[in-house]
């Protein structure tokens, strides 16, 4: 139990994670919500449809609304805002398919309060090192980065890059 404000989950970025199972649950909700359009929905669409309403309702991040006591980070995950969410989730399935214990993941879209610029800026600049650097330093597992650039449309309507690439770094 937190003994002072510095010990509370709201002031400890390393506790702003969601579980692997929670990510899969959001994937299922999004699939049902968007139906046939789901494969084309990006992280931005997921944040607009699910994360921002959650943040506004609970006055905290999606991660802390799901895990009020906080959830320690095992893996730091970066993503592209314009990547299809289904591709992102499928990549996480592939990266962690052999993990016996699935990780708790720090993903900024869920870890930070979305839809409130003032609060978002306050969170990101809440300490001298920012929010992300201390989180990366505490990860005992993988750091996974999604490296899909913004989708640019070429003549003929083709995406500039059709597949997402994901890189896994193991902390040594």
Handedness of CA 35, 152, 167, 77 (dihedral sign): negative
**pLDDT band (50, 70, 90) for residue 38:** very high
pLDDT digits (tens, 9 = 90+) for 39-85: 999 999 999 999 999 999 999 999 999 999 999 999 889 888 999 99
Assess whether pLDDT exceeds 70 at residue 168: no
Contact between 106 and 75 (Cβ < 8 Å): yes
Q: How far apart are CA 118 and CA 103, in angstroms?
A: 30
pTM of the model: 0.75
**pLDDT band (50, 70, 90) for residue 12:** confident
Say which residues have a Cβ less than 8 Å from residue 133's Cβ, sequence separation at least 6. none
**What is the residue extent of each domain of the chain?**
13-170
pLDDT digits (tens, 9 = 90+) for 75-98: 889 888 999 999 999 999 999 999
């Amino acid at each position: 139990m937190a003994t002072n404000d510095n010990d509370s989950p709201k002031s400890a970025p390393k506790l702003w994670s969601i579980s692997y199972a929670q990510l899969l649950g959001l994937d299922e909700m999004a699939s049902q919500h968007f139906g046939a359009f789901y494969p084309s929905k990006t992280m931005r669409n997921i944040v607009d449809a699910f994360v921002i309403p959650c943040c506004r309702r609970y006055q905290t991040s999606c991660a802390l609304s799901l895990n009020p006591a906080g959830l320690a980070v095992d893996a730091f995950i970066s993503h592209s805002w314009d990547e299809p969410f289904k591709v992102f989730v499928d990549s996480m399935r592939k990266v962690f398919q052999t993990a016996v214990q699935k990780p708790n993941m720090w993903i900024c879209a869920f870890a930070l309060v979305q839809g409130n610029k003032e609060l978002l800026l306050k969170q990101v600049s809440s300490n001298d090192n920012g929010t992300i650097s201390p989180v990366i330093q505490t990860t005992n597992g993988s750091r996974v980065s999604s490296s899909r650039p913004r989708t640019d449309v070429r003549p003929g309507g083709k995406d500039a890059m059709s597949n997402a690439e994901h890189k896994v770094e193991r902390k040594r």
